[in-house]
Amino acid sequence: MNVSIIGTGYVGLVTGVGLAQKGHKVFCVDKDIKKVKSINSGVPPIFERGLEPLLDKLVKENQLTATTDTVEAVKSTDVTFICVGTPSLSDGGIDKSFLVSASKDVSQGLTDKESYHVVCVKSTVVPGTTEDVVLPILEGVGLELGKDFGLGMNPEFLREGVALDDFMMPDRIVIGGSDEKTKEILTKVYENFDSTIMVAEIKTAEMIKYASNSLLATKISFSNEISRMCEKIGIDVYEVMDGVGLDHRINRDFLNAGVGFGGSCFPKDLKALIHFSQTIGVNPRILEAVIKVNEYQPIHAVNILEDMIGRLPGKKIAILGLAFKGETDDVRESRAIPMVKELLRRGAKVVGYDPKAGNNFLREIVNIEIAESVEKALSGSDGCIVQTDWEEFRTLTEEDFLAMRTPIVVDGRRVLNPDEFSRVRYRTIGR
């Protein structure tokens, strides 16, 4: 099929590359000319493992092209996926402005088309949004649902850092459609994928994404709550969760305690679902508790460090990892942000290091020193918090930390082996 992708962020570009790799002719659309030129030169504007060589290959094969012209892209394709951002508003709701703008552009591309076209929302939107926001815009230019176009919802389940793998080898593919023809076309888009395809109504597909992310975030906050009990009674929460995860009804995944979750999905989606729940008269007590626990975890790491060091004013603290997780340069909702703010509030000096996210982090907090390497970050430091689970940090040994003025380490992601430390004071979350 010929497919157009509106938006070239993590979701849009990975979706475009993945579909092109599966044989579809893909047109990626973005209003940012710099992004378009970068993509057409085979260089992704985002960092994602394995993305650059595959993008370069597909561009050279003319299987994927980027453009700023939404109308022409829509006219040239059979299916359009809307993959624009839906960031949080101050009240926790989602900002639909990008979705509205993209839908208006798409509608203009459909006005002269004679063939049936499927418009599918891949952006994360609360239940009812696709039909309440996108549909009226398309119908507003004289198009008839079921005759001129079909409307779909195809939520993404991508983890940054391994997004390409997740797209190519998904656990499941969820498709919501306005009618059987639309559902059949969207199913055909994914016919070369070895995965279970679930076909549902549009609102159901929208809710599946929010329910999935909320449950995963709940598992993390639950583990962090249990971890603080384990610290008090002298046992290891990881060993506890190993035992809990052996129950096939629960599973071990996402039961790791640490400094909390961040990124562009979990915090935003939880807040959006809380806001949506309140608008329909449901009190989301569990989801609100999940957020509260997550907000406390970075502060808990600072408390552990201060307990080991003593007063923090004037102390130099190294933060290893500024991205919200390893294998990405994304700092959105990174737990390093509240962690660094709390350290600065308590009078500490902070030096941070991240293999990819240093410059991005400076856009969040300017009064922090960014080191060029782990060695430079640790040199002369009075304490260290490991905040991100980069593979680079897993190879660190006791010798690396002995370059510190006082070798004190709080491992917020359980990436180090405590059995190797005899001259370094080491603590981790939940142990």
**Residue in this structure with the two tokens 């006791």, named with its chain if needed:** 398
Spatial separation of the C-alpha atoms in residues 120 and 123, rounded to whole Å:
9
Comparing CA positions, the residue from 322, 306, 197, 209 lying closest to residue 266 is 209
**Residue 54, helix vs strand vs coil:** helix
Among residues 28, 83, 230, 265, which one is catalytic?
265
Spatial separation of the C-alpha atoms in residues 11 and 209, rounded to whole Å:
14
Helices (H), 196-350: 202-233, 237-245, 266-279, 285-309, 336-345
Active-site residue, 120 included:
no
**Residue 23, helix vs strand vs coil:** coil
Spatial separation of the C-alpha atoms in residues 9 and 15, rounded to whole Å:
10
Tokens describing residue 425: 């004071």
**Residue 425, helix vs strand vs coil:** strand
Tokens describing residue 292: 């509260």
Residue 166 has a CB neighbour count (10 Å cut-off) of 17
Q: How wide is the angle at C-alpha 28 spanned by C-alphas 125 and 169, nearest 5°?
A: 65
| 364-385 core/surface letters (b: 16 or more CB in 10 A; e: else) | bbeebebbeebebbbeebbbbb
Burial class of 81 by CB neighbour count within 10 A (0 to 12, 13 to 18, 19+): buried
Helices and strands in the chain, H and E counts: 18, 14
**Residue in this structure with the two tokens 């993959």, named with its chain if needed:** 83
**Residue 230, helix vs strand vs coil:** helix
Helices (H), 325-410: 336-345, 358-362, 374-378, 391-394, 398-401
For 115, what's the count of Cα atoms within 13 Å in the CB-facing half-sphere?
A: 10
Q: List the beta strands (DSSP E) in 83-155.
A: 117-121, 149-153
Tokens describing residue 192: 């070369």
Question: Residue 245: which residues within 8 A CB-CB, separation 6 or more?
Answer: 251, 252, 253, 255
Comparing CA positions, the residue from 53, 78, 242, 60 lying closest to residue 152 is 78
Backbone angles phi, psi at 106, to 5 degrees: -65, -40
Residues classed as catalytic:
265
